[in-house]
Amino acid sequence: MQTLSQLKSGELAGIQRLTLSENLTSFPIEILSLADSLEILDLSNNQLTSLPIELAQLSKLKIIFASNNRFETLPEVLGQCANLEMVGFKANNISQVPANALPAKLRWLILTDNRIEVLPDALGERPRLQKLALAGNRLIALPKTLTQCANLELVRISANRLTECPEQLLGLPKLAWFAFAGNPFTRSNISINAVPTLLSSSFTLQNVLGQGASGVISKAVWNSPQTSFPDDIAVKVFKGEVTSDGYPEDELQACLKVGHHANLVQSIAQVKEDDYLALIMTLIPPHYNNLGLPPCFKSCTRDTFTPGFSLSIAQIEKIIVQMEAVFTHLHNNQVCHGDLYAHNTLFDDQANIIFGDFGAATMYHMLTLTQQHKIKQIEQRALFHFIDDLLSICAEEDQYSSNFKQLKQRLITI
């Protein structure tokens, strides 16, 4: 993170990425001095309400973040930025999205946690659009023009006010990661009590093991001896507010509906108290590691991997068999995971996997049979991308094997 004083002094001349968070109430005009180099501008966590028309002078700008500010309208000047591809205005007060605020080269739009009821038809007229994050708004419908978004791969529309399943999304040829829980059209009367409910006083949280959009996972110990549960546990304490994927309660219910599977993180109990929602799970052994890393700006929707990391074709085949079994189990229980990725998968030296993170999961048993079939097809694409990503890190000596070629051919013919 840089400072405003550094910017004003000229110390930041020539930089490609600028991050300023100093409780700003107006756009620092000195940013324009970086027009010949600036590609990423992050003005998140300020008090901004507008952007100047001069922003369009930043001719190399590709990415802009302005989350946690006070915008009520998505600035129209964004549409005049010739090379702008990624727009992130999460957690503002945005209720208006003008058609001409959408850049022509838009690939990635993040408007999570705002107050948007209606989106312009122009959104469907952005042919490069790949990633669309709209969870936690007040949307009552989506533009019919989204049927034109042939490159759209990831969509988050959870926690809105949609009364009908958006058919214009279900037929998109590349959609693979889809989260849509927490809307009236997914409302369900079932309450899943697949595991017992305990008090938060039953355990004590220890060190943090990981955290994501929906909560924090910590190692925990029981406060009294247990006979019904394993000794080694982890607890995910959900955040109380809407996340980038939707409502924590929807995640909990979807996770419980899926039930037990050998390759899923095992849920053993839940906590449902005022302002405290948690899931108690078996502790994953320490010899498991993350299989992949989340997408980057360049890959947009596809996973990344640690440089130099590779797997043998035998390991890849074993992992695929397990993930296909997980996929079948999920959809037999009418749950769409919504985030089927290597970065949500743990593996060990024997290529055993444990799959988790149900933040984007949605129960879909209330949809028509035709809609259910399309939802399964969407997630099937995510599974194919998962396989393709693993093949991209296959050990070089195995890339000439018949097994590698067969898997590659299987993806080509899909």
- Quote the distance between the C-alpha of residue 265 and its chain's center: 19
DSSP 365: T
Residue 332: CB atoms within 10 A of its CB come to 10
- Quote the distance between the C-alpha of residue 191 and its chain's center: 25
Residues in the chain: 414
C-alpha 123/C-alpha 139 separation (Å) is 14
C-alpha 26/C-alpha 9 separation (Å) is 18
What is the rounded end-to-end Cα distance, in angstroms, of the chain? 45
Q: Find, among 199, 209, 392, the residue nearest to 303 by Cα.
A: 392
236 is an annotated ligand-binding site residue: yes
List phi, psi (to 5°) of 316. Answer: -60, -45
3-state secondary structure of 9: helix
Per-state percent for the chain, helix, strand, coil, to nearest 5 = 30, 20, 50
Tokens 């590349």 appear where? 174
Annotation: binding site: 236
Annotation: binding site for ATP: 236
